[in-house]
A and B are shown apart, each in its own frame.
Chain A
Amino acid sequence: MRASFVSSEVVNGLRRNVSMTIAMILTTAVSLTLLGGGLIVVRKVDQAQESLRDAADVVVYMSEDVSANDPECANDPCSGIRSELEQASGVRSVQYLNRQAIFERATEEFSNQPQLQELVRPKALPAALWVELGDNVTPRAIKEQFEGRTGIGSINDQSQFVRNMVNKLNDVRDGTFLIAALQAFAALLLISNTIQLSAFNRRTETGIMRLVGASRWYTQLPFLLEAMVSGIIGSVAATGLLMVLKEAFLDGLMKPLTNANLLTPVSYADVAFVAPILVLVASAISGLTGYLTLRLYVRI
C-alpha cells in the first residue's frame, strides 16, 4: 500500500468537501468538549470522595465544659460517651480531637483562605469525637442515640452532606453526558453524511478503482481516514476548548467549592488526563461510523 497516494487522496477529499469537513470538526469538537467536561466532573467527584472518605461519618461536638476541661477525654462524661460509642454496634472507629487538634485541622483546611484562618481561635472551637461508621448503621441512629446527652454540644451527620454534594455533582455529570450523547449523535449523522457526500463526489475515482482491481480496503481507506482525521482534529479542538473554558468560566464558577476544600480546582493535568481519551473516542467513533456508512450506503 502506498502511503503517499492514500494521504494525498485524504487531503484532496478534505479540501474538496471543506464546508462539510468544518461542520463535522466543529460538531465533533462541541460534543467531545461536553464529554471531556463530564469526564472531568467524574474525576473531580472521585477525588472528592477519596478525600472525604477519610473524614468522619458523624462528628460529636463536645460541650464547652468538656472542651475546656478535658483535653484527653479522660473523665466522664467524655470518656463514658467515647466508650459507649466504641461499643455501639456498627461503629468502626472513634477518635477524640481536642481543641488544639481541631484548631490545627481547621488551620490546615483553610490554608488557602487566610482571612478565615485569621478568625479561627482554638478557644472558639469545640473538641469532638470523630466517628467512622460501618455499613450496617446509619448516622441518624447514632444521632438519635446520643443527642441531648450531658457533655455533648451537637452532633453533625457528615455523610449526609457528602452524599448530597456527590449527588449534585453526579447530576451535573449526567446532564453533561446527556447533552454530549445528543451532540455525539448529531456528529455521527454528520460524519455519515459527509462520507456519503465525499463518496458521491468521487464516484468516478472509486468506480475506476473498483474496475482496475483496487481492493475494497484500498478504496475505502481514504474515506475512513478522512473521517478519522476530522474526528481527531475535533478532539484536539475540544481539548483547546476545555482549556479555554477552564480559564474563562470553570475556575471562577468552582471557586466557592474549591475554597471550601470540597473540590480540588480543575487543573491542566485534568484536561491532559481526558485529552487522550477524547482522541481515542473520536478516532474510534469516526472510524466505526465511516466503516458502517461505507458498508451500508456506498457501493465501492
Chain B
Amino acid sequence: MIRLEHVSKTYKTLARPALDDVSVSVDKGEFVFLIGPSGSGKSTFLQLLLREEVPTRGRVIVADWNVAKLPRRRVPKLRQRVGCVFQDFRLLNNKTVFGNVAFALEVIGKPRHTIRKVVPEVLQLVGLDGKADRMPVELSGGEQQRVAIARAFVNRPLVLMCDEPTGNLDPDTSQDIMLLLERINRTGTTLVMATHDHSIVDSMRRRVVELSHGQVIRDDARGVYGVGR
C-alpha cells in the first residue's frame, strides 16, 4: 500500500537532510506507529505520502501511485484516497459537526443525497450520533478529534494518516481515540500514526518504525516505544 524506496528529502534551509535514504514498506490494512524525537523526520514522512512535499531522491509509492511523479492535476485524486488527522483537529468553527464532515465530501463534488446518507453513518461509527447539530466549541477535545477522524474517514480512504492525534488529549480520551482508530483499521484501512505517546504504543503492540536524524533506526513488527521498556 505504501512504499518508500531510498527516499531522501533535503530542505534548503537545513544543513542535514530531513529524511536520509529511508526505505519502508507498509502493507494494506497494516497499523504502523511512526515514532522518534522532534525533528527526526516523522512529519516529512507523512508530508511525502500526501504529496505536500516531493522527495529529493528516491520513490514514494502510495496505492500504486508514484507520488513524486504524479502530475499536479492528479494530486487531488491521491488525497481523496489518503485521509489525515492532526493534533489540532482543524475543524471549521462556523460549521456544525455534520457540516464539518460533509465539507470533505462537498468540496470533492459528491452529490447531496450521498452526503445525507454517508455522514450520519460515519458519525455513528465514531460515536457522535446525536451530536450532528452541535458546533465544535460545544464539544470536548476527544469529541472534536472524533469529528476530525470522521471527516478524514468519510470518503473511505485507503490510508489514514494521523499526526499525533492524541497530543492534545488526556490519557483516557486518548485510549478512546485509539480504540476508534483500531476499529477503522479493522475495516481494512491502512493506518500510519506519528506519535510521542509511549503508553499508547506500548499498550497496542503494533508495528513500530522509529526515525532518528532522518533515518530508520528500528522497524519492529510488534514493537514498543523505547527498546527495553
CB of B26 within 8 A of chain A? no
Complex Cα–Cα for A236 and B107 (A): 31
The proximity string for A residues 195-230 relative to B, scoring 1 for CB distances below 8 Å and 0 otherwise, is 000000000110111111111101100000000000
Question: Which of B72, B79, B111, B112 is A212 in contact with, Cβ under 8 Å?
Answer: B79
Chain B residues with Cβ below 8 Å from A210 are: 79
CB of A1 within 8 A of chain B? yes
Chain A residues with Cβ below 8 Å from B72 are: 216
Question: Which of A5, A204, A211 is B106 in contact with, Cβ under 8 Å?
Answer: A5
Are A1 and B109 in contact, with the CB atoms below 8 A?
A: yes
Complex Cα–Cα for A218 and B77 (A): 13
With contact pairs A1-B109, A2-B109, A2-B112 given, residues A212 and B92 touching in the complex (Cβ less than 8 Å): no
Chain A residues with Cβ below 8 Å from B3 are: none
Which single residue of chain B is at the shortest CB-CB distance from A215? B76
Shortest CB distance B225–A (Å): 27
Are B90 and A212 in contact, with the CB atoms below 8 A?
A: no
Interface residues on B, range: 20 to 34
Are A211 and B112 in contact, with the CB atoms below 8 A?
A: no
Complex Cα–Cα for A156 and B106 (A): 75
Complex Cα–Cα for A235 and B73 (A): 34
Are A213 and B77 in contact, with the CB atoms below 8 A?
A: yes
CB of B103 within 8 A of chain A? yes
Interface residues on A, range: 10 to 19
Complex Cα–Cα for A207 and B88 (A): 13
The proximity string for B residues 68-95 relative to A, scoring 1 for CB distances below 8 Å and 0 otherwise, is 0000110011111101100000101000
With contact pairs A2-B112, A208-B103, A208-B104 given, residues A216 and B90 touching in the complex (Cβ less than 8 Å): no
Chain B residues with Cβ below 8 Å from A205 are: 92, 103
Are B80 and A204 in contact, with the CB atoms below 8 A?
A: no
Shortest CB distance B20–A (Å): 26
Are A212 and B109 in contact, with the CB atoms below 8 A?
A: no
Complex Cα–Cα for A209 and B76 (A): 9
Are B155 and A218 in contact, with the CB atoms below 8 A?
A: no
* B90-145 contacts to A (CB < 8 Å): 90, 92, 103-104, 106-109, 111-112
Chain B residues with Cβ below 8 Å from A212 are: 79-80, 83, 103-104, 107-108, 151-152, 155
Q: Which B positions have Cβ atoms within 8 angstroms of A?
A: 50, 72-73, 76-81, 83-84, 90, 92, 103-104, 106-109, 111-112, 151-152, 155
Given contacts A208-B90, A216-B72, A218-B108, 13 further A-B pairs with CB under 8 A are A5-B106, A204-B90, A209-B107, A211-B50, A212-B103, A212-B151, A213-B76, A213-B77, A213-B81, A213-B108, A215-B76, A216-B73, A216-B76
Q: Could you list 14 examples of A-B contacts with CB < 8 Å?
A: A2-B109, A2-B111, A5-B107, A208-B90, A211-B79, A212-B79, A212-B80, A212-B108, A212-B152, A213-B78, A213-B108, A213-B155, A215-B73, A216-B72
Q: Which A positions have Cβ atoms within 8 angstroms of B?
A: 1-2, 5, 204-205, 207-216, 218-219
